[in-house]
Amino acid sequence: MKEIYLDNNATTKVDERVFEEMRPYFCDLYGNPSSMHFFGGQVQKKVDEARSRVAALLGALPDEIVFTACGTESDNAAIRSALEVFPEKRHIITSRVEHPAVLTQCRNLTKRGYRVTELNVDGNGQLDLKELEAALDEDTAIVSLMYANNETGVIFPIEEAARMVKAKGALFHTDAVQAVGKIPLNMADSAIDLLSLSGHKLHAPKGVGVLYVRRGTPFRPLLVGGHQERGRRAGTENTASIIAMGKACELAHLHMPEEAGRVREMRDRLERELTALIPNTRINGGGTNRLPNTLSIAMEFVEGEGILLLLSEKGICASSGSACTSGSLEPSHVLRAMGVPFTCAHGSIRFSLSRFTTDAEIDAVIEALPPIISRLRQMSPFGREFLNK
């Protein structure tokens, strides 16, 4: 049974062209890029090339790119840096639907006396910029808001938020892990100070990330030691993965029109067919701007865990909008923040596509899911009541 992989917001396959680019830097060109000799120097040239490729995708300058181990490290480094840059400021603003890499850190900081404001979202998962404006004060050190939500694909009005924050004298950070490579970004025309991205979300390996630091932005490193990354992130560079990240960004830039076109068309067809074939469904975040590859669909009177298990039996890989897959009976914090009804939140499934997704795979999901939902509703007392009406 060949898998149908529609969980690309969790991780992506490494593009074979990316793998071939990084392959020589394991066993052949294994020098340390910080070494003075020619063997390390040739590796440093490839690291420099990778930095330029990442910068090109972001519309940034190469010296604004700091390589990290992952998106989580980038998020942590951005927020911790701002608090060191402004030690007198004790206020952080974020949103209720952020990735745990941001939310958990912010909530932990409240134990150290920091004041954290978590902005609400509406029923579509969208921010209210008036609430952000009201929350900003002279004590605000940093505002951290995700560019696009990992569960629903909802895109926040990040540029407007960044300009608002900058006008108040605070730093602005965005976790753009899900957005980079799917929608155009241009840091040259942006007010964003700090931006995080992760390699394994755009067909590079796991274990490599980037923190964009706008030139002139005050920054204090999270990891200290050596002089690597211009003193902004100590530790011997993960050269093979950094080189892979550069290639992945180059390819993402090349394939972005495909994300906006063919991938979006497949996502929209999947959405249309499933909502037509399965009664009592809703699209989480469907009333606002979303990433072109993401579909979060909620189906009443069923459990996400059961849906995923039956899909998996057919070789279809997706993820649940409910945290039940990790042993919790509570819906995800994103769906709770959106006010998704309890009967829908537990039956929410996320399908996330990539440029490797095919029309045949979408056809297979359209064929498989409606009978699964019907079967599960027959097993549920609430579902049977609904079906017998």
Reported as a single tens digit per residue, the pLDDT across 156-207 is 999 999 999 999 999 999 999 999 999 999 999 999 999 999 999 999 999 9
Query: 3-class SS at 190?
Result: coil
Query: In this structure, is the dihedral angle defined by the CA atoms of residues 377, 382, 384 and 388, taken in order, positive or negative?
Result: negative
Q: Which residues contact 109 (CB under 8 A, 6 or more apart)?
A: 79, 83, 92, 116
Asked about 324 being catalytic, the answer comes back as yes
Q: Which two tokens stand for residue 357?
A: 């997704």
Q: Of 20-34, 259-273, 340-354, 362-376, which gets the smallest average pLDDT?
A: 340-354
Please, what's the b/e burial string for 13-23 (b: 16 or more CB within 10 A of its CB; e: otherwise)?
ebbeebbebbe
| Residue whose C-alpha is closest to residue 244's, from 38, 47, 10 | 47
d(Cα 380, Cα 303) in Å, to the nearest integer?
9
Residue 180, beta-bridge partner list: 183
Query: In this structure, is the dihedral angle defined by the CA atoms of residues 289, 291, 292 and 298, taken in order, positive or negative?
Result: negative
d(Cα 282, Cα 63) in Å, to the nearest integer?
44
d(Cα 56, Cα 232) in Å, to the nearest integer?
20
Angle at 107 between CA 105 and CA 110, to 5 degrees: 110
Candidate list 106, 249, 324, 344, residue with the active-site label: 324
pTM to 2 decimals?
Answer: 0.95
Write the Ramachandran bin of 251: left for phi over 0, alpha for psi from -120 to 50, otherwise beta.
alpha
pLDDT tier for residue 323 given thresholds of 50, 70 and 90: very low
Distance of alpha carbon 179 from its chain centroid, rounded?
6
Helices 100-110 and 71-85, packing angle to 10 deg: 40
Q: Which two tokens stand for residue 51?
A: 């930095």
Q: What percent of the chain has pLDDT over 70?
A: 95
Residue type, 293: N
Q: Of 92-96, 114-118, 342-346, 378-382, which gets the smallest average pLDDT?
A: 378-382
pLDDT tier for residue 389 given thresholds of 50, 70 and 90: low
